[in-house]
Structure 1
Amino acid sequence: MARTKNSRFEAVFNEVGRAVVALLGALIVAFIAIWFTSDDPGKAIDTLLTGPLSSKRTMGLWVDDVAKLTLTGLAFALVFQARQFSMGVQGQVFVGGLFAALVALSPVGTTALAIPAAILAAIVTGAIYGFIPGYIKARFGANEIVSSLMLNYIAIKVVDYIVRADLAPAGSGQLMSPKFPKSSIFPAFIPHTRFDLGIVIAIITVVVVWFMLYRTRWGLKLRLVGHNPRFAEYSGIRANSIMVSAMTVSGAIGGLLGAVFVQGTAFGRIAIDFDGGLPFEGILIAIVARNRPLAVPVVAIFYGYLRQGAQLMGIRTDVPAEMISVVQALVILLVASSFSVPGRKLIARLFARPAAA
């Protein structure tokens, strides 16, 4: 029993330490780069570290990013758990956002059912769009990376065309739909901020995904397929079926993220390229969290803070916001590598109990 506790402590310490060391290392390099590229490096660094907490508005921006990063991180973590590398979350976001917008702009959008109906439409259509690359791989052996990326391209172009041709007001020259009815927009918990229903949806989704992965037979099969697909086949588990279902559930989360985008207080409408490339950042969240659902929101909190700090630094100082790309790349390289935290063995010895006679 003692060995089990010690091994768990050592594993937790190693993972947390790895992430902390990676973050500190990336920040040190970012500080050095800021020091040599800014005329006022002190102000730039202060904005990076404290900008998201400077007002209710910036805190709302941070919370909004955390909600969206959590959902996209969960979507990628699910398919990575099944040892698949589908890149289709962005396409699922566009499809889910489109159908959520269609519900919001329909007669249903003015009723009390507007928000749940739009969310349901986004989840169903996102799941269907996630099912397609999974079925293509299971049935025809197509590479899921290529097929999902191509489906992303199709979804983005089709949605952009529909927004310009059908949803934007005729003759206005706008690249967005009219504002949704108030009953179709997520209510803000703090007025005039982006602190809205999206963060609650993200938390609920984390709990649901964790329960599905660690408290259901389906989750056990998925993790077994991801760990050792050949052994899973010998055990009577249909690996292809599990793989397709994982990509379908991931697609449902991607569609849900689309609804959070277009129905959130930040938008309240659908526009072309409304995602801003954020869904792909879920890959980083999933990698740092080691595909663990409960770790995804924790990583999203810290990464979202850095992301907002970098954007504010780009607005308020002379340092470009692209500096966050340096931090992203370094975090991925350090966390994905196999280095060990310095002093790990020494601390493990200090907490180890003497063996029984």
Structure 2
Amino acid sequence: MSMTTEAVLGRKARWANIRRETGRALAAALIALSVAFVIILLTSKAPLEAFNVLLTAPISRPRTIGLWIDDVAKLTITGLAFSLVFQARQFSMGVQGQVYVGGLAAAYVALSPIGATWLAIPVGVLCAMIAGGFYGFIPGIAKAKLGANEIVSSLMLNYIALELCNYLVRTQLVPPGSGVLTTNDFPATAVFPALVAGTRIDIGLIFAIVAVLAVWFALYRTAWGLKLRLVGHNAQFAEYSGIRSTVIMVSAMTVAGALGGLLGAMFVQGQSFGKLTILFEGGLAFEGILVAIVARSRPLAVPVVALFYGYLRQGAQLMNIRTDVPAEVIGLVTAIIILLVASSFSIPGRKVFARILGRNATPSAVMEGGK
């Protein structure tokens, strides 16, 4: 078989896999939304109105569109961070802590004399990424050198970062005697400029797009990325091949930490805050786990999943505000989607539709059907 034929077959297999995974995700979303509709129907006094708010409110006004896109940018970054460690078959849960130390670093830059200069944004983002990268390095090196479980160590580091941020805001960064739990507003030079006036869509969106391309390139177009994926598939084989799996693992967790630090800067320097406050992250960093799982840790799929999940997230919040349905309903929707996508779920009736359309089942479909 010629190399040209192999390349064509490889492209066809990749597109078939993309179509299959997309179909699975869409079917899972439809099933989950159907369950949500039943729950809303049983619990709400105006179920049709509530469901309409869930599905249409995020795009009803420029302000809500801005909230949605801002969420998408942030979910993309946290999804990428988790995807990197999942690619290495590690289960570090430390993105939340990296967000807080990154936000702290960016805040200190913004509140320093640098904050009043044009250097405020680049230096703030750089310091946030360095702080987050160091915080990602800690559980990685602890596992490599001490055998510490990365799940436990990263979770404990999350608590440390969160409480440290709270302590510093309460004792050092708030105006003396004010009694508030937030710093002064950052200088205008330290706040990300808006891409769309009057909305929260700022240059954080550009950072997210660049991060997606950078992570994709690093994973699939560099030797480091190849080694990372080999370590993730089979660490023992990678060691036999001369790859230092511990170095790759630590570096992956460090890069993921830098992304977490970037997310911290996007929070505190973005249009959504423009200052540092306690608990500013609001649990969003952990939701990157959901994005990474549904995207199957593929960098180019992460923003697509973030786009849809961010829409549901904003729709649920607006539904909670405007109707009598609690926002927790979206948690049920998300859980069902995750269960279906992460399991061996396949689209019902796919073979029937294939016969109707006159298409032969793909080898992978035949194999799945024989399970």
- Sort the TM-score into its range (normalised by shorter chain): over 0.9
Aligned residue in 2 for 1:308: 314
2:157 to 146, 151, 162: 151
Amino acid at match of 1:321: A
CA contact (8 A) 1:287 1:336 kept: yes
Aligned residue in 1 for 2:287: 281
Aligned residue in 2 for 1:98: 104
Amino acid at match of 2:88: A
- Report which stretch shifted further, 240-249 or 344-353: 344-353
Aligned residue in 2 for 1:173: 179
- The Cα shift of 1:189 comes to 1.6
Aligned residue in 1 for 2:16: 10
Distance 1:215 1:5 in 2: 17
Amino acid at match of 2:191: I
Aligned residue in 2 for 1:47: 53
* Matched pairs, number: 354
Question: TM-score, normalised on structure 1?
Answer: 0.96
Q: How do 1:139-288 and structure 2 match up within 5 A? A: 139-288=145-294
2:299 to 293, 300, 305: 293
- The Cα shift of 1:6 comes to 4.4
CA contact (8 A) 1:6 1:348 kept: no
Aligned residue in 2 for 1:329: 335
Aligned residue in 1 for 2:85: 79
**TM-align CA RMSD:** 1.5
Q: 1:312 to 1:107 in 2, by over 3 A?
A: same
CA contact (8 A) 1:6 1:351 kept: no
Report % sequence identity: 65
Distance 2:359 2:236 in 1: 38
Q: Residue 100 of structure 2 aligns to a residue in which SS?
A: helix
Q: How far does the alpha carbon of each residue in 1:38-59 deviate from its partner, in whole angstroms, 9 at most, with x for none? A: 1011110110000001100000
Q: How far does the alpha carbon of each residue in 1:143-188 deviate from its partner, in whole angstroms, 9 at most, with x for none? A: 0000000000000001110001001111111001100000000111
Distance 2:142 2:17 in 1: 38
Q: Residue 260 of structure 1 aligns to a residue in which SS?
A: helix
CA contact (8 A) 1:92 1:258 kept: yes
Distance 1:3 1:205 in 2: 30
Q: 1:212 to 1:6 in 2, by over 3 A?
A: closer
Aligned residue in 2 for 1:60: 66
Q: For structure 2, list consecutive stretches of 5 or more residues without a partner in the other structure.
A: 362-371
Residues 1:118 and 2:159 are matched in the alignment: no
Aligned residue in 1 for 2:347: 341
- The Cα shift of 1:7 comes to 2.9
1:135 to 141, 146, 153: 141
Aligned residue in 1 for 2:368: none
- The Cα shift of 1:190 comes to 1.8
Distance 1:345 1:321 in 2: 37
Aligned residue in 1 for 2:35: 29
